[in-house]
Amino acid sequence: MKKRLQKAINDYVILCILCLSLCSSCSLADRSAKPYQSVESISSALSDVTNTNDSILAKDRKIARIVATTVISENKKKFPNKVIWKGRKGIDPEKFNKVIRSNAIIRNNWKNNWNETKSEGTSLILVKKDKKDQFLMSAGEVLPVTAKVEKENNEYRLNIYDLFDPKNSSLDISKDYTAPINYLTRRSKLIPKITAVVNTNRYMSDIGLHRITPFDPNRIPVILIHGFKDNSASWVKLINQLQSDPDIRYKYQFWTFTYPTGIPILYSAMRLRENLIKMREVYDPNSVNPNLNRMVLVGHSMGGIIARLLSSNSNNSFSKWLPSESEMENQSAHKMFKFEAEPYISRAIFIATPHKGTAMASSSIARFFNTIIKIPLEIQDSFISTFSLNPDISLKDQRLISRMKSISNLRPNSDFIRSLQSTTINSNIATHSIIGIGRLSWWKKLETTDDFVVSYNSAHFQNADSELTVAAWHDLHKNSKAISEVGRILKLQH
């Protein structure tokens, strides 16, 4: 009997711990943190509070959760009756779907520095969702703002300040730049890290380029490309740290490219290329915005190779894999294997990038994963019939090419790595390398160091405009010193 009781108590404790850990992984706190449906709903609630004769009702209405933190008064006349937008003209706050208090975002499991300034006003997050917008994550886009009640022309107003508007930078108001990033990455349905490596076919529709905040024509896009067995959430620390610097916050806007990392690297590069072209067509159809001609690519590990491919001319390096022009049934293979550097890219930053491959891709574990990776049907349908048209490609090579997988691509002696060495970076694109040499490498020669995944010799890019070595492992894009170097490089942009 005692054993059963003890077992029941243990099970109950374990259940409580699991529930507690589950709750701590959520973005929103308790029921009191229920978001407003829009800025317009705030205006309506303000009107209700102002017109009612019952001051007790004001405490129960939704607007009290914002106004009560900015106006400590029982005097009903101090409740504002207008919402005024104090931000960039190109952004309409009425088009956002939700308004969430920043302090409602749970911080217990946040490992990075929280970029916040406490002062007058209340920090809020504006959230917008639009299923028709291909450049939005599933959770939408976010914008940090601050709500502050102020008296203007003998009436009280609720001013909402856009924290990405340089005109508001010197104001003494509360500012929270971390809560929106935390909310977005936790609420978005991201591509799984492990599952997407093996079962790539399931996540092909999730390949995409996504913005984090509303598009701003006055800021330069920085495209973040994650590496193998990773997703967009890996850039949280970098974005959070760089956005704390006003010189970067007001000059750049961060975008992320996500993809199932088991698919061929050339195919991922082709899809990013198509997404960037589409982005320019949507936001700059007449090609008159100089900021969209100065994009910066930042790639970690395999993402760095994708950044290199978009910055390079193929020089027919992969031409032996192409059928003759007259025999091609579709253009997919042509776009994948034959390309030129994108003219709108001005700078590429390679973080722990295996330009010459990695020995780990030849290990027994990597070979095992390689055997169970499934090449998506759309890639098979696009290329198998196309390759079969070229009489110069043997059946053995056809099978090899049709089953290309990212792990195979990264082997030091693979056809992909050999062909990659023949590509050339456009001379108008500045390149920078940030290389991890391990935390225990102080006694080694530089040429013999590695970050446990990529060796220095593989990550070293000849003729790069700058190179920094960091005593860190392969997750270099999360290292504060490496992130600071990215910030330094971004400030070089004129």
Q: Which residue shows structure tokens 């939408």?
A: 140
**What residue spans of 284-351 are helical by DSSP H?**
302-310, 332-337
Look up the pTM and report it: 0.85
Give the CA diameter of the chain: 86
Strand partners, 148: 159
Taking the C-alpha atoms of 89, 129, 47 and 30 in order, what is their torsion angle to the nearest 10 degrees? -130
Kindly tell me the burial class for residue 24, based on how many C-beta atoms sit within 10 Å of its own C-beta (0-12, 13-18, 19 or more): exposed
Hey, what CATH class is 190-490 in? alpha beta
Angle at the Cα of 389 from the Cα atoms of 387 and 394, rounded to 5 degrees:
65
| Cα atoms found within 13 Å of the Cα of residue 400, Cβ hemisphere only | 11
pLDDT for 195-251, tens place per residue?
Answer: 878 778 888 889 999 999 999 999 999 999 999 989 998 999 999 999 999 999 999
Helix (H) or strand (E) holding 383: helix 377-387
Helix (H, G, I), strand (E, B) or coil at 313: strand
pLDDT in tens, the chain (494 residues): 555 666 555 554 444 533 443 343 334 443 344 555 666 666 655 555 445 444 444 444 444 455 544 444 434 456 666 788 999 998 988 888 888 888 888 776 667 788 888 888 888 899 999 989 999 998 899 999 998 888 888 787 888 999 999 999 999 999 999 999 988 888 888 887 778 787 788 888 899 999 999 999 999 999 999 999 899 989 999 999 999 999 999 999 999 999 999 888 999 999 999 999 999 999 999 999 999 999 999 999 999 999 999 999 988 777 666 555 434 445 667 788 889 999 999 999 999 999 999 998 888 888 887 777 777 767 766 665 555 555 555 555 555 554 578 888 899 988 889 999 999 999 999 999 999 999 887 888 999 999 999 999 999 999 999 999 999 999 999 999 999 999 999 999 87
Answer yes or no: are the C-beta atoms of 242 and 248 closer than 8 Å: yes
Every domain of the chain and the residues it spans: 29-172, 190-490
**How is residue 492 written in tokens?**
């070089």
Answer yes or no: are the C-beta atoms of 312 and 423 closer than 8 Å: yes
Please provide the DSSP assignment of 249-315 as one string: HTTEEEEEEE--TTS-HHHHHHHHHHHHHHHHHHH-TTS--GGGGSEEEEEETHHHHHHHHHTEE-T
